[in-house]
Structure 1
């Protein structure tokens, strides 16, 4: 798997959110890198950092949505689903103690 790269097309037009998205892409790349290196300690740390930053990002998005009267309910559901899937993937990978097939990140 190649690293995810930020492009202008990913911009939502809000400096704060765009900056957070760039950071989240970097943290996601850290997860992928740890998987490729089969480094369980780095993987656990990368997942923890990604989840922590996602929480902060979701709070910030919600504040902006409320301030602009944006209907946030569907977006909130998508965020909760994303966190659930992230935790599931983390738990599955860490339970394997870095013993997984080469296609794990494909």
Structure 2
């Protein structure tokens, strides 16, 4: 018996783990500013981020492994796909943000 996760299940679990990370940051804010003494915030503040990040990275690695087993790419083709899928959009958003910041903020961070 082989265990597999569908892409939809994996993506749903990634969304949940990302929400846990967001809640972790909010719980840290609540604890730091003494807004609540609830044990929920303390536990989430202490461990929520670690659990969310661990699950997210596990699922990402699992997806990459499954993808690699389905269609093996040589290193050049792999890097080419990653560039167009990840690095190019990040680069474009960074360039747009750098030009938009002076208009959006009263003081330039540069």
Give TM-score scaled by structure 2 length.
0.42
Structure having greater relative contact order (Cα 8 Å, sep ≥ 6): 1
CA radius of gyration, larger in? 2
